[in-house]
Amino acid sequence: MPTETERKYLVSADDPRWRAEVRETRTLRQGYLSPDPACEIRIRVIDDTAAYLTVKGPRDGPTRAEYEYPVPVADALELLGLCGPRVLVKHRHTLPDDWIVDEYAPPHAGLAVAEIEWQGDPAPPPPRPPWAGEDITGDRAYSNATLTTSPSP
C-alpha cells in the first residue's frame, strides 16, 4: 500500500530565510470531492498544465495511505466544479532538501505552511530548518480539506 509520511509546520509568510531558498513556485487549485478524514478524495490542478486525483486514508500519526493518479486537466477542471465551496488556491514553493512551503490565497491570505515528506516511517523526519515554526502535523484545523470550508485557524 502506498503511504505518505509527513510533518507540517507553521511558518511566517514574510520570513526572508525560507524565501531566499525558493527554487520554484507553482499555483495549485484543489478541491475535495470527499473531505472525510477517513477517506479523503482530492482533485488538484497544477498551473493548469497537470492534474491529479488523490485518495487518502485515515492518519496514523504522521503516516497515511495515499493513492495518486494523473488525470486530464479538462476532466480535473470539471471535477473541481463538483467540489462546490470545497476548493482552495495556494502557491507551492519548492525549497532544498524536499521541503515545500504552501502560501494560501484568500480567504486564507497570510497563512503559510511548511511540509516535509519522507520514506520509512517510523524513521525520524529530516532536520527541521530554523524558519519552521509550530508543528501542526495532524491538526485538522490546518488540513486543506478543513480550510476549504472554514476560516483560517
Q: What is the pLDDT of residues 34-93, one digit of tens each?
A: 888 889 999 999 999 999 999 999 888 788 889 999 999 999 999 999 999 999 999 999
| Cell triple for 123 | 524513521
Which residues, other chains included, contact 126 with Cβ-Cβ below 8 Å and sequence gap of 6+? Answer: 97, 98, 116, 118
Domains of the chain: 3-147 (2.40.320.10)
Q: So what's the pLDDT on residue 120?
A: 62
Q: So what's the pLDDT on residue 89?
A: 98
Q: How far apart are CA 90 and CA 133, in angstroms?
A: 19
Which residues, other chains included, contact 5 with Cβ-Cβ below 8 Å and sequence gap of 6+? Answer: 62, 63, 117, 118, 119, 120, 121, 125
pTM of the model: 0.91
| 98-118 per-position pLDDT tens digit | 999 999 999 999 999 999 988
